[in-house]
Amino acid sequence: MTHNSDRAFRTRAVHDGHGLDPATGAHATPIYATSTFGYGSAERGARLFAGEEQGYFYSRLSNPTVRAFEQKLASLEGLPDAVAFASGMGAVSAVCLTLLSPGDEVIFVAPLYGGTTGFLREVATKFGVTVHEAADEAAVEALAGPRTRLIWVETPTNPRLGIVDLGRVARAARACGALSAADNTFSTPALTRPAEHGIDLVMHSATKYLGGHGDAIGGVVAGPEALLAELRGVGLRHVGASLGPFEAYLFLRGMKTLPLRMQAHCEGAQALAAALDGHPALQALHYPGLRTHPGHAVAARQMSGFGGLVSVDLGSQAAAMTFLNHLQLFTQAVSLGDVESLSCHPGSTTHALLGEAALVRQGVTPGLVRLSVGIEDPADLIRDVLGALAHVPVTGDKRLRP
């Protein structure tokens, strides 16, 4: 692996994690499409399986293409190592199944991605883990105690784009002897590096911005080497949530342009949010780049850009559906972070399984729409959104709320 922490982020995005292929001199990282690797002797095989020697012997546990992706992500997050999984939820599951035991407590700041919340509430609790939902950092501090093992956050949050103070969460975790984990999918290391604020583990759905082209599914967790060795053992050896080499190759290719793409995503989202600010059809507009956003000051401190997502609330599900059905450039689809713009109604898609009570509590309202701003020309995207809003009746008192 090539790695040089003195290089600028854009340079590391291109070069770190891989070099010329030692066997052939190939400039692009090869796709090692093999399930197994010969290890030469019975003695070496025993050492490899026992963990006494590093090397490749079975792709469920490690593969050179996958390893290059892991090392590039670790470099960009500024952490010692990373381990890749078959999906973002594979990464979430591996973290929880590795770290949590019966009697432990988990605290998460809501709202999270619906799949993460579902795993914590529907799966972790079956194994005797107590799960606490916190509304903000103050609630985390109040809930943290001697049984707290893990504090999980996202920032910006999904789908309301709230901002969590990562340093404050990390301090709360250290104070009670817990580990902190941040889902950095929305920000990416191009905008936020949670480890710089004291967070222990950084997770991504690589499907989104890391890949950037909507053609691969994967997940990854970065953190300390000893902790990630445990994650690899549970998530890959025992659970088998292994990333394939072809997907790893696509993520490697995507990450080389991550800084450039994120700049375009941020510029487009900022322009769209500015154009929508004060629009009479909107009941609420959520974008941390707006000074009226309640988390703007924290976002400005811990992010180098405000991200490529904008959420709008049109007041009712009927209005949201009308708006979505009149968009032309924003494809209606779950996921986010593609070069193409996407749109979805979280209450009936990504967060539907949470149930009505949780949706209300977490502010995932019937009228909320999440817009993933792609890299198209911002003027075209603004024209598309304003054109769709023209079909939404303006009724009652629609005051803009951050």
Closest CA to 211 of 304, 76, 336, 60: 336
CATH number (domain holding residue 132): 3.40.640.10
60 catalytic, yes or no?
A: yes
Give yes or no: residues 151 and 213 share one domain: yes
Give yes or no: residues 268 and 233 share one domain: no
The model's confidence at residue 6, banded by pLDDT at 50, 70 and 90, is: confident
Amino acid 73 reads L
Consecutive H or E run containing 84: strand 81-85
Closest CA to 381 of 299, 288, 310, 307: 310
113 catalytic, yes or no?
A: yes
Asked if residue 306 belongs to a domain, the reply is: yes
Asked if residue 264 belongs to a domain, the reply is: yes
Helix-helix angle 317-325:378-389, to 10 degrees: 130
- pLDDT, mean of residues 7-34: 93
Give yes or no: residues 275 and 381 share one domain: yes
* 402 pLDDT more than 50: no
Q: What is the pLDDT of residue 401?
A: 42
Degrees, nearest 5: CA angle 283-354-179 = 105
pLDDT, one tens digit per residue, over 95-117 is: 999 999 999 999 999 999 989 99
The model's confidence at residue 43, banded by pLDDT at 50, 70 and 90, is: very high
pLDDT, one tens digit per residue, over 350-397 is: 888 788 888 888 888 999 999 999 999 999 999 999 999 999 988 655
251 is in which domain, residue-wise? 9-255
Q: Tokens 């404050």 correspond to what residue?
A: 168
* 42 pLDDT more than 90: yes
Asked if residue 4 belongs to a domain, the reply is: no
253 catalytic, yes or no?
A: no
Give yes or no: residues 339 and 356 share one domain: yes
Give yes or no: residues 82 and 223 share one domain: yes
Last residue of a domain, one of 255, 284, 311: 255
DSSP 8-state assignment for residue 120: I
Q: Of residues 16, 104, 165, 183, which has the active-site annotation?
A: 183
Which one has a higher pLDDT value, 6 or 297?
297
Asked if residue 2 belongs to a domain, the reply is: no
- Strand bridging mode 219-223 / 81-85: antiparallel
Asked if residue 338 belongs to a domain, the reply is: yes
**b/e sequence 182-202, b meaning 16+ C-beta within 10 Å:** bbbbbbbbbbbbbbebebbbb
Q: What is the pLDDT of residue 299?
A: 98
Q: What is the pLDDT of residue 397?
A: 52
pLDDT, one tens digit per residue, over 162-215 is: 999 999 999 999 999 999 999 999 999 999 999 999 999 999 999 999 999 999
CB 169 within 8 A of CB 150: no
Q: What is the percentage of the chain residues whose pLDDT exceeds 90?
A: 89
Give yes or no: residues 251 and 263 share one domain: no
Residues 386 and 378: their CA atoms lie apart, in Å, by: 12
Give yes or no: residues 153 and 269 share one domain: no
HSE, side-chain direction, 13 A CA sphere, residue 92: 28
* 400 pLDDT more than 90: no
Q: What is the pLDDT of residue 399?
A: 46
CATH number (domain holding residue 377): 3.90.1150.10
State phi, psi for 331 to the nearest 5 degrees: -65, 135
State phi, psi for 152 to the nearest 5 degrees: -115, 130
Give yes or no: residues 44 and 84 share one domain: yes
CB 93 within 8 A of CB 100: no
Asked if residue 370 belongs to a domain, the reply is: yes
Give yes or no: residues 192 and 234 share one domain: yes
Closest CA to 286 of 185, 377, 163: 163
The whole-chain average pLDDT of the chain stands at 95
Q: What is the percentage of the chain residues whose pLDDT exceeds 70?
A: 97
Last residue of a domain, one of 255, 272, 300: 255
Give yes or no: residues 219 and 273 share one domain: no
Rounded to a whole number, what is the distance in angstroms from the first to the last CA of the chain? 45
Last residue of a domain, one of 209, 235, 255: 255
Give yes or no: residues 160 and 248 share one domain: yes
Q: What is the pLDDT of residue 325?
A: 98
Residues 235 and 365: their CA atoms lie apart, in Å, by: 34
Domain count, the chain: 2
Closest CA to 72 of 254, 208, 200, 215: 254
Residues 89 and 219: their CA atoms lie apart, in Å, by: 7
Q: Of residues 12, 67, 208, 370, which has the active-site annotation?
A: 208
Q: What is the pLDDT of residue 1?
A: 43
Q: How far is CA 35 from CA 17, 58, 249, 379, in A?
A: 22, 6, 16, 48
The model's confidence at residue 3, banded by pLDDT at 50, 70 and 90, is: low
Q: Of residues 32, 39, 56, 113, which has the active-site annotation?
A: 113
- pLDDT, mean of residues 247-272: 98
Asked if residue 30 belongs to a domain, the reply is: yes
Asked if residue 56 belongs to a domain, the reply is: yes
Give yes or no: residues 151 and 266 share one domain: no
